[in-house]
Structure 1
């Protein structure tokens, strides 16, 4: 599984960074940075970040082709 963020929808509120700080952060310019890949142990934290996004701009994608 991989994380993707709709950069058009994302308004850099940062709630995902509060929910999953190991995977999301706001840089010095206030822009969202994130790790696309994550370990299976982090799925609950990632789902919390997805749920916290007020614009629902974060998605989980299967990396199976």
Structure 2
């Protein structure tokens, strides 16, 4: 093992890698949160809307 190799391994990540990691985390969170938000928004608007008129079947 070379002397000083551990200090190179423990060096902080470059700025681009740090930003790409944050971007990946943001994408993962958005992938998890957005569908649930859309579903909840859709269900609340459906519940708030008046119910459709019932179909009445009349025998002639």
| TM-score, length basis structure 1 | 0.23
Structure with the higher helix share, 1 or 2: 2
Query: Of the two, which has the highest radius of gyration?
Result: 2
Structure possessing the higher relative contact order (Cα contacts under 8 Å, 6 or more residues apart): 1
Which has the larger share of strand? 1
